[in-house]
Structure 1
Amino acid sequence: MASTLTTINHSRDVAGLKYVYPVLSRRAGGLSIGINFNTNNACNWRCVYCQVPDLQAGAAPEMDFQLLEDELRFFLDDVLNGNFYERFLIPDGNRVIKDIAISGNGEPTSLKEFASAVTLIGEVATEIGVLPQSSFVLITNGSLVHQPRVQAGLKKLKEYGGEVWFKFDSATEAGRRLINNAKQSYQASLENLMLSARLCPTRLQTCLLDYDKRGLSEEEKQAYLAMLKTINKKHVSLKGIMLYTIARPSMQPEAALLEKLSVESLNALADEIRLLGFDVSVSV
């Protein structure tokens, strides 16, 4: 029986593989081929909107590189030469590989062999002809960019024409604790963001939500704009800023307190950001 792949179904098991899974991505605008390094559902943050069940604190487990290569080759061949689109009832307008996205069930840069994994994916996708026509994306909270092994991976990502989507949901310490349960300071995260942008093309991705009927406070908004002004003063170039809100149910204890942020609030913030000279996209 055929399954339907939708923007609200991001199951890592939909293709029956360990590391590779398909997503119809709102932000990418089509078929995104996800790569999940964190098969143990472990992450060093615990974002309140996270859809990963049984999330635990920790790092990615050891990688089976041969299995990753086998799965990636098999899946790309199925999409390009098989009947994947028909089996999953993909609409005609989305029958194109928009990107290969290293994302998954935790922080992917926590993989010890991160640079080697990026290289393997880049080599296979280039050989098969998916890269450079499609994008190559790392979706990360950026908390480990200061580590040399992660920087080596970002340099490899750039070699394959890739880019970083760097999570930055709040520019206040209180907001980071509330939304991301992040122990890393705002300043350390900002330094990592600027370092990422110098090593590899980087976009800022910000999830804005209504937590316990609070909406987007003036304090949060002004702190976020101040952060962007700091980036401008440091002459750091970002490829763009992606604002979005929650689309799927959270699997975290705070789920009942979370609602979408209104499109009006998202667009109002986007307009203020554009005045600072940044390219902004809004997804709802």
Structure 2
Amino acid sequence: MVSKLTTTDHCSDVVGLKYVYPVISRRMGGLSIGINFNTNNACNWRCIYCQVPGLKIGTAPAMDFKLLENELRFFLGEVLNGDFYQRFQVDKNQQVIKDIAIAGNGEPTSLKEFAEAIDLIGKIATEAGVFPHSNYVLITNGSLVHQAKVQAGLKSLNSYGGEVWFKLDSATEEGRALINNTAQSCKASVENLLLSATLCTTKLQTCLVDYNKQGLSDKEKQAYLNLLMDIKKSGCNLQTVMLYTIARPSLQPEALLLAPLSPEILNAFADQIRFLGFDVSVSI
């Protein structure tokens, strides 16, 4: 018996495909069609809230473009003309394709053929009538935006009206090392963020967690607010900040030390960010 798709089930093999998987997105309020470039569960970061099983440090494997094309065309056909919603018991009010989101089990911009993959997905979705009515989203840690192949992909994404969701979970070096296990400096990350915003509509996405019952410290909040003020002063066309906390169990060694932040803390912080002139969404 096919199980019901819910916002807490983001299993990437639920429909038995290699690259394509469905998600009922709590942030988007409908069907998000996920595209997983990192089928080897490899990423250049190791975020402590990550739900990827067997996560390892590395890059995306070579893309089988014909398989990606076949899977995406097949799956869009099932959703648009088949019985997908009925088989997976998707609620009536969520039976709409909100976006096609490149996310998956690692950092998608590490794919060698990144720009080509972005363009192929855009062409298929446009031919199927999904674009421009649905969003085209790249979810990324932004660590590789300085690379030419990634910039070419962002330009292609922009040509389809897409947007970048750029991860920034902490504005302190200590926080980035703890939460993301990355040695890339906050300065380098911000430089990539500013570059991304010149190439494609870019939104900031920030996962805030309670680590070891420490909550959200004043130091972390102030560093984040200071960074946003600097971004605003730079003239960067960044308008939107998306705050969220963990909704599903981490599969990393730190899992038992993690807890979601309360709606009160998230909403209070969101109000501080709005005061700086940003649009802010909060997902609990």
Report the TM-score, using the length of structure 1 for normalisation. 0.99
- Secondary structure of 1:46's counterpart equals coil
What one-letter code is carried by the residue in structure 2 that aligns with 1:137? V
Deviations along 1:105-139, whole A, 9 cap, x unmatched? Answer: 00000000000000000000000100000000000
Question: Partners in 2 of 1:75 and 1:155 — Cα distance?
Answer: 26
Distance 1:272 1:216 in 2: 14
SS for the counterpart of 1:22 is strand
2:177 is the counterpart of 1:177: yes
- Give the structure 1 partner of residue 266 of structure 2: 266
**C-alpha separation between the residues in 2 aligned to 1:29 and 1:107?**
24
- For 1:257 and 1:197, locate their aligned partners in 2 and report how far apart those are by CA, in whole Å: 34
Unaligned 5+ residue runs, structure 2? none
Q: Does residue 161 of structure 2 align to residue 136 of structure 1? A: no
Q: Which residue of 2 aligns with 1:156?
A: 156
Match status 1:188 vs 2:185: no
- 2:83 aligns to what? 83
Aligned to 1:62: 62
Is the 8 Å Cα contact of residues 201 and 239 (structure 1) preserved in structure 2? Answer: no
Asked whether 1:50 is paired with 2:50, we answer yes
- How many angstroms apart in 2 are the aligned matches of 1:15 and 1:102? 17
Offset at residue 3 of structure 1 (A): 1.5
RMSD: 0.5
Structure 2 distance, partners of 1:266, 1:122, is 34
Please list every run of at least 4 consecutive aligned residues from structure 1 whose deviation after the TM superposition is greater than 2 angstroms: none
Q: Which residue of 2 aligns with 1:226?
A: 226
Distance 2:65 2:262 in 1: 43
CA contact (8 A) 1:115 1:156 kept: yes
Using the alignment, how far apart are the partners of 1:163 and 1:242 within structure 2?
Answer: 13
SS, match of residue 98 in structure 2: strand
- What displacement does 1:10 show? 0.2
TM (norm. structure 2) is 0.99
Q: Which residue in the other structure is 1:238 paired with?
A: 238
SS at match of 1:137: strand
- For residues 180 and 80 of structure 1, the distance between their equivalents in structure 2, rounded to whole angstroms, comes to 37
Q: What SS is found at the alignment partner of 2:127? A: helix
Question: Equivalent residue for 1:166?
Answer: 166
Following superposition, the deviation at residue 26 of structure 1 comes to: 1.1
Residue matched to 1:18? 18
Secondary structure of residue in 2 paired with 1:220 = helix
* Aligned counterpart, 2:121: 121
Q: CA deviation at 1:174?
A: 0.1
Distance 1:30 1:181 in 2: 32
Superposed displacement of residue 12, structure 1: 0.4
How many angstroms does 1:239 deviate by?
3.6
Q: Which amino acid aligns with 2:174?
A: A
Matched, 1:249 2:249: yes
SS at 2:47 equivalent: coil
> In structure 1, how many angstroms separate the alpha carbons of the residues matched to 2:2 and 2:187?
48
Aligned to 1:210: 210
Matched, 1:276 2:276: yes
Structure-2 separation of matches of 1:191 and 1:269: 24
The code of the aligned residue for 2:12 comes to R
What code does the residue aligned with 1:193 have? Answer: L
Say if 1:273 and 1:280, in contact at 8 Å, map to a contact too: yes
Secondary structure class of the residue paired with 2:198: helix
Q: CA deviation at 1:2?
A: 2.4
Work out the number of aligned pairs and report it: 284
